Amino acid sequence: MSGEILVTGGTGYIGSHTVIELLKADYDVVIIDNFSNSSMKVIDRIEKITDKRPILINTDLLNKENIYDVFEKFSFSSVIHFAGLKAVGESVNNPLKYYYTNIASTVNLCEVMTAFDVKNFIFSSSATVYSAQNKMPINEDGNLGPNNPYGRTKLFIEEMLSDLYQSDSNWKITLLRYFNPVGAHESGLIGESPNGTPNNLMPFITSVAVGKQKNLKVFGSDYNTKDGTGVRDYIHVIDLAKGHVQALKHNCEPGIKTYNLGTGKGYSVLEVVKTFQLVNGVNVPYEIVDRRPGDIPISYADVTKAKDQLNWNAEKGIIEMCKDAWNWQKNNPNGYN
Ligand code: UFG
């Protein structure tokens, strides 16, 4: 295969699982990461799983000269861009940090790509770009309108990439809108390792199960859903990773294409908790508390387009998501620390 794949943020949660799938599919991988929310140990674990060691460059995308140097050393065929900040709450409290980090780093990356005539780009976007007013399941034509600064950085980058393509029709761009990634590699060697108290549901459940948190707070039980708790489209991180490999294979024609990556099924908070307890034989005490500001009642994807055009669909169900999330957490109670 000609040219390496550059993976920015390749030691992060979704990035590291994608690197494994890329290596398994025989791509040569170069990772750029600044380790702001990840660990160097990931590289050893990836090697243990795949018997291959990706090249790692410890640098920051905000440093354009360094990125330029990296592009001089390799001949990249495509870039998969994961790197960025992703904590919704933090983005509300510190919006400028989010606008600067996420947007400026993508501008730098695209400028250097242009300079080296590397114009194949896969972007890590999010279902959070959709407006909360849409009917579910939501397809790629749903109304846009994120309700927090993090989500707006994703939407602005999508729009910037669209303008870039309008200005230069040689670009081949795929935007992947992730629903709720959970789970971990089945080996239990890599997984999600959030800094501090987890914000998201599955890492919080596993930290309760491992005894680090007393109980799970279920944010609201009075939504208009099957049991009153919030419903989301949880997708196993390995399925999501495989979606990137398919997107890469299909990113062959100039243009800008957008895909939802989810399972198309919605599970409530209580369904996830109960499945987790049943599958893993562990107790997850919980209490119902007030709704979390900014949460929407239901979000799940119409995944027809990815199935038809990328020849991809999620294969792992909620049972594997719960099993693999717990396998990772119990073997690594402190994540990579
Ligand atoms: N929830 C709880 N208790 C918790 C954490 C979450 O009840 O401690 C509930 C939420 O209220 C929601 C569901 O679990 O109903 C899922 O919440 P998450 O925080 O796990 O995920 P979100 O759907 O809020 O957001 C996630 C990511 C975003 C991403 C979005 C895409 O955090 O970055 O999915 O849909 F954009």
DSSP string, 154-194: HHHHHHHHHHHHHH-TT-EEEEEEE-EEE---TTSSS----
Annotated catalytic residues are 150
Q: Is 300 in the pocket of ligand 1 (CB under 6 A)?
A: no
Say if ligand 1 is within 6 A of residue 225 CB: no
Residue 93 lies in a domain: yes
Please state the rounded mean pLDDT for residues 11-37.
Answer: 97
Question: Is residue 8 in a domain?
Answer: yes
Instruction: Establish if 42 belongs to a structural domain.
Output: yes
Nearest partner of 34 among 57, 14, 66, judged by Cα: 57
Q: Estimate the crossing angle of helix 64-73 against helix 105-115, to 10 degrees.
A: 40
For residue range 276-319, list pLDDT tens digits in order. Answer: 999 999 999 999 999 998 899 999 999 999 999 999 999 999 99
Q: Are 218 and 229 a contacting pair, CB within 8 Å?
A: yes
Look at residue 1 and tell me whether its pLDDT is greater than 60.
no
Measured in Å, residue 73 CA sits from the centre of ligand 1 at 40
Considering the domain boundaries, does residue 135 fall inside one? yes
Distance 204 CA to ligand 1 centre (A): 10
Mean pLDDT in residue range 33-57: 97
Q: Give the per-residue pLDDT at 125.
A: 98
In short, whether 125's Cβ falls inside 6 Å of ligand 1 is no
15 within domain boundaries = yes
**Beta strand 76-81 with 55-58: parallel, antiparallel or unpaired?**
unpaired
Find the helix or strand (DSSP H, E) in which 7 lies: strand 4-8
Domain count, the chain: 1
Could you tell me the distance, in angstroms and rounded to a whole number, from the CA of residue 258 to the centre of ligand 1? 22
Looking at the chain, the whole-number percentage of residues with pLDDT higher than 90 is 96
Q: What is the mean pLDDT of residues 168-184?
A: 98
Question: Does the pLDDT value for residue 23 go beyond 60?
Answer: yes
When pLDDT is cut at 50, 70 and 90, the band that residue 99 belongs to is very high
Mean pLDDT in the chain?
97
Residue 86 in contact with ligand 1 by CB distance below 6 A:
yes
> How far, in Å, are 2, 71, 129, 224 from residue 152 at the CA level?
35, 29, 7, 26
Q: What is the span of the domain harbouring residue 26?
A: 4-183+235-263+301-315
Does residue 197 sit within a domain? no
Q: Is residue 129 part of a domain?
A: yes
Tokens representing residue 334 in the block: 């402190």
Q: Whole-structure pTM over 0.85, yes or no?
A: yes
- The domain that holds 57 is classified in CATH as 3.40.50.720
Q: What is the 3-state secondary structure (H, E, C) of 44-66?
A: HHHHHHHCCCCEEEECCCCCHHH
Residue at 147 is within a domain: yes
